[in-house]
A = this chain, B = another copy of it.
C-alpha cells in the first residue's frame, strides 16, 4: 500500500532506488580504484544496472563523483550529529561516559562504511576538486567541530572539566582517543572493536588527567550553573 507518489519527483520509486544503488557502488569502486582507475562498467555491474542507466542518472563520470561525495558528506553528518546528541552533558560516571561517546563516534561515524569511504575520497581526490572539498570542509568539520566543542564547553561550565579553550579541547579529545588507530586509518582499514575501545580508554584517561576536576572520593558536587539563565 505504498502507492502514493512522492511529493515532487515524477519517477516515483524504483528510480530512486537505482540512483542510490549506483551511488553506493560508485563510492565503493572510486575508493578501491581511485577516480582514474574507476571504471563505469564496473560500477554499473556492481550496482546491478546497465552502463547506460548510470549515464541516464548522473550524466558524467565527474558528476557521478560529485554526487557520491555530496551523498557521503550528508549521510556522515547525520550520523555525527545523532552521535553528538548522545554526548554526556550530565554524566553519571564521566570517564565511562566519555569513553562510550568516543567509541560510538568511531564505530558509527568514522569507521563505518560511509565514514571510511568519505575519508578516503577526501584524502585521495581532495586536491583535484578544491571547490567540492571546500564545501565538504564547511559542511563537515566546519559544523561538527563547533558542535562538539560546545558540548565540552557545557561540561566545563557545569564544573566537570577544567578547560581553557573548548575548541582546542575538542580537537585534542579526538586526537587522543584516536591516537592508537592512526596507522590503521592510514592504510584505509577499519580497526576492530577491541582496538577502538582500548584507544578510547587510554585517550580518555589521559584527557581526564589533563582536564578532569578530581572530585572528592564520595562523588561530584553538582554546580548550580543553570540558575543564571
- Residues in B with CB closer than 8 Å to A188 are 123, 126-127
CB distance from A33 to the nearest CB of B (A): 7
Contact residues, A177-229 vs B (CB, 8 A): 178-180, 182-183, 186-189, 202-203, 206-207, 209-211
CB distance from A188 to the nearest CB of B (A): 5
Complex interface: stretch among A9-17, A96-104, A167-175? A167-175
Identical chains bound together, number:
2
Complex interface: stretch among A34-42, A63-71, A83-91? A34-42
Chain A contact surface mostly: helix
Contact B172 A203 (CB under 8 A): yes
A32 at the interface (CB under 8 A from B): yes
- Residues in B with CB closer than 8 Å to A36 are 33-34, 36-37
Chain A residues with CB under 8 Å of chain B are: 32-37, 119-120, 122-127, 133, 137, 141, 165, 168, 171-172, 174-176, 178-180, 182-183, 186-189, 202-203, 206-207, 209-211
Task: List 12 A-B pairs, Cβ < 8 Å.
Answer: A34-B36, A34-B125, A35-B37, A36-B37, A126-B188, A127-B187, A127-B188, A168-B202, A172-B176, A172-B203, A174-B179, A207-B210
